[in-house]
Amino acid sequence: MTRIDLYDTTLRDGAQAEGISYSVRDKLHIAERLDALGLHYIEGGWPGSNPKDAEFFRQAKRLPWRNAQLAAFGSTRRAAHAAKDPNLRALLAAETRVVTIFGKTWDLHVRNVLGISLQDNLRLIEDSVRFLKRHGRTVIYDAEHFFDGYKANRTYALKSLEAAAQGGADTIVFCDTNGGSLPEEVTRLIADAKRGLSVPLGIHTHNDSDLAVATSIAAVAAGCRQVQGTINGYGERCGNANLVSLIAVLQLKMGYHCVPEEKLKELTPVAHYVAEISNVSLPTNRPFVGASAFAHKGGVHVNAVMKDPQTYEHLDPATVGNQRRVLVSELSGRSSLVLKAQELALDLSKETPAAKRLLKLLQQLEHEGYHFEAAEGSLQLLLKRQLEHLKPFFTLEGFRIMIEKHDHKLVSEATITLRVNGVLEQTAAEGHGPVNALDNAIRKALRQFYPRLAEMHLSDFKVRVLDEKAGTAAKVRVLIESRDQEASWGTIGVSENIIEASWQALVDSVEYKLLKDQKSDVRGRRSVKATRRPRARSDRS
């Protein structure tokens, strides 16, 4: 089976999408998830362009990479000599084994953007690649605007590829940077270009004509063995090729090997996870991974699918981690619910009243705006509360938040009253905003009862308006990420009041930590008991 190398650029190209801004921690989390999926290359960003990307590469060195090679991105040199070019030096400083640089293929860009001669551009392409190769890097060369450049000046476009090859490029990638090429053009132009190249080839397409996936597939058919793209197709303007769809099509439809077979079922969770971290709603009709991708509503469709799913489904939804949904019915989703319960060692069978009740509850919560893909902590607590009647670690008696402005400075203070094991505890704390004040107050009130809460801190906070037309009365979804020394977890809250939604997510976050610690303590006691040596009996005469 022919292998296709998957090159993900969500953290750079995807981050250029309007409305998306990743923190360093966001990028680290996404990178870990994509590495676990089995991708071959993850482009972390452009270390020479901004401090955030440089910091990401510093922290990424500590990640336990299992599958992917981390790549740093940059451009060909601008200085007179490669060794003095700040961009190339920053690429080396990132200390990644793989470096990707782009260069100009279109003579229009060489003259009007770089403002140099065509020959000088060829020299800087070759010099830049050779410089990085001399420093032991695997070099991927992105031929920017290749298809437009080829159509404008075929001879020069091909010479630019030759310059990269002469410099020692390990892979040359054809870029449809403006996203205007058609599949048949991509096939024909690559077939011509590869005649003079012995270097492995790749494809990088944009979606301005809604053809990025199609043109990428055409490029693979023409001989490209590296495919670049982003999760969910995020990217500048209309986005990039959707790597999720490409994996599904290339592996399940065309017989190429992209990821380990058992990882295909992670496509849906990964797509939703990245969407949630990106704070972008994933369209329900997104192929393969959308909530509606395998949803059936029409009477004729439902009747046929229940008899034989092949009648209206092009593949088994479980293959890509999705599930069939029969709308206006309670028959959908119960199997997934049972599997999740089994993962948590909870007793739940598919045909029990509890399973039906839980499914109905989850459907109602999703209708209200809850989304548990990136809120595993809240989902676990919900199931345990429903199935084990989980005793709360504390109960809220009430809280009050005051916001005052003094000397052009806003000050937030939260006063909170909790009851823990029958003991009433009241305390107050300030914070950088009302949510931070609430977080400080709840943990201050609980720390004498649960000292290990000091290990926990909030690492991310996201708010999404669920109904923009409702204006300031709209429901909001709050997603909080928390972490301690061992792990991180997500929790969620939904309300018309942002403080109430934040409170829900905060409480779940704290209770998840307490439950996790409780489990750890129980395991520790069992381990000590199991390893304790029996007391020796004295011999009696």
pLDDT at 365: 87
- Give the ranges where 194-289 is alpha helix by DSSP (H): 212-221, 243-248, 267-277
| Span 502-521, pLDDT tens digits | 999 999 999 999 998 988 77
Nearest to 428 by CA among 327, 438, 436: 438
Return mean pLDDT, the chain: 90
Lowest mean pLDDT among 88-102, 320-334, 347-361, 482-496: 320-334
| Local confidence band at 326 (pLDDT 50, 70, 90 cut-offs) | low
pLDDT at 535: 47
pLDDT at 211: 98
pLDDT at 472: 64
pLDDT at 316: 95
Q: What is the CA radius of gyration of the chain?
A: 27
pLDDT at 339: 61
Residue 148 to residues 104, 107, 159, 178, Cα–Cα distance (Å) = 11, 10, 15, 8
Q: Residue 140 is inside which H or E element, if any? A: strand 138-144
| Span 235-247, pLDDT tens digits | 999 999 999 999 9
Specify the higher pLDDT residue, 276 or 390.
276
Q: Residue 413 is inside which H or E element, if any? A: strand 409-420
Domains and CATH numbers, the chain: 5-259 (3.20.20.70), 395-524 (3.30.160.270)
CB 163 within 8 A of CB 126: yes
DSSP state of 351: T
Q: Residue 85 is inside which H or E element, if any? A: none
What percentage of the chain carries pLDDT values higher than 70? Answer: 92
Distance CA 270, CA 30 (A): 9
Distance CA 256, CA 222 (A): 14
pTM here?
A: 0.70
Q: Would you say residue 340 has pLDDT above 80?
A: no
What long-range pairs does 305-313 form, CB within 8 A, spacing at least 24?
Answer: none
Distance CA 153, CA 119 (A): 14
Q: Which backbone phi and psi does 126 adopt, to 5 degrees?
A: -65, -45
CA distance between the termini of the chain = 76
Look at strands 488-495 and 476-483 and give their pairing: antiparallel
| Span 376-394, pLDDT tens digits | 899 889 988 888 778 889 9
| Local confidence band at 184 (pLDDT 50, 70, 90 cut-offs) | very high
Sign of the CA dihedral with 223 first, then 228, 230, and 231 last: positive
Average pLDDT over residues 477-502: 91
pLDDT at 158: 98
CB 42 within 8 A of CB 15: no
Q: Would you say residue 331 has pLDDT above 70?
A: no
| Local confidence band at 522 (pLDDT 50, 70, 90 cut-offs) | low
Average pLDDT over residues 47-56: 91
